[in-house]
Amino acid sequence: MLTVNIHEAKTHLSRLVEQAARGESFVIAKAGKPMVKVTALDAPAAGQVRRLGFMAGRIEVPEDFDRMGDAEIERLFASAP
């Protein structure tokens, strides 16, 4: 991850913000000591599990998924008065 000092961050802020928006986070340091991390708002935090699509490739939805249980449902409701 890129680390820049405060002076460099002030000088190149627009370019650095564009990089962060593209997912290239960076750290701003003062006197060599890391102070803040700049990252895009929609970027996942380190170690964060991406929930959308987390089961991709692990499960299969049957072709008749929307019709599963039709016979049982019809039997249950057909006997209702």
Per the structure, the complete domain to which residue 27 belongs is given by 1-40
Flag whether 64 is in a domain.
no
> Tens of pLDDT along 30-78?
999 999 999 988 766 666 666 777 788 888 888 988 988 899 988 888 8
Alpha-carbon gap, residue 14 to 27, rounded angstroms: 15
Flag whether 17 is in a domain.
yes
**Domain tally, the chain:** 1
Q: Which amino acid is at 66?
A: D
Flag whether 16 is in a domain.
yes
Flag whether 55 is in a domain.
no
Flag whether 21 is in a domain.
yes
CATH of the domain at 33: 3.40.1620
Q: Which amino acid is at 5?
A: N
User: What is the pLDDT averaged over residues 9-34?
Assistant: 94
Flag whether 53 is in a domain.
no
Alpha-carbon gap, residue 7 to 21, rounded angstroms: 20
